[in-house]
Amino acid sequence: VLDENINLDCSPPITGSGLIRTLREAGFKGVACIVTGESSERLQQLKKLPCVDVVVEKGTPMPQLADLINRRRAQLAASQQAAQLATQQATEEAGLTATWDSKLTTTNGISQNDSLLAKQETVTPDALAACPEVPP
């Protein structure tokens, strides 16, 4: 939780939104909140910044601020969990799922045994690298 106008007398001025941007660039993934006495117009501009999660006016009751922060934390956690699941699923799907059948042959042209190949299995990149090439 940062004030927007931290030190406007220095060059460049130090602002809460500027510090949050720097934190995000450094990898901070937590909830970033600005409390400000700025105009309604500036408040709306701050709310549109992608690096800022919550913007409230000075004087906002603490229970309300805590509720906003907790709700944003829950949203971020759900988004991160969904992203991890999607990445895992994409990796598994693109992660080299292959369907084997009796038409495959070894590199020396000898047909494989139907009972060994008439199944679907997931092949890891390491396992695929260790497999001989199959001619078309």
- 10-residue block means of pLDDT along the chain (136 residues)? 90 91 92 94 93 94 95 91 84 57 42 37 40 36
φ/ψ (deg, to 5) at 114: -55, -40
pLDDT of residue 94: 66
Residue entry with tokens 């999660």:
53
pLDDT of residue 90: 79
Per the CB < 8 A criterion, the answer to whether 35 and 58 are in contact is yes
pLDDT of residue 80: 85
pLDDT of residue 95: 57
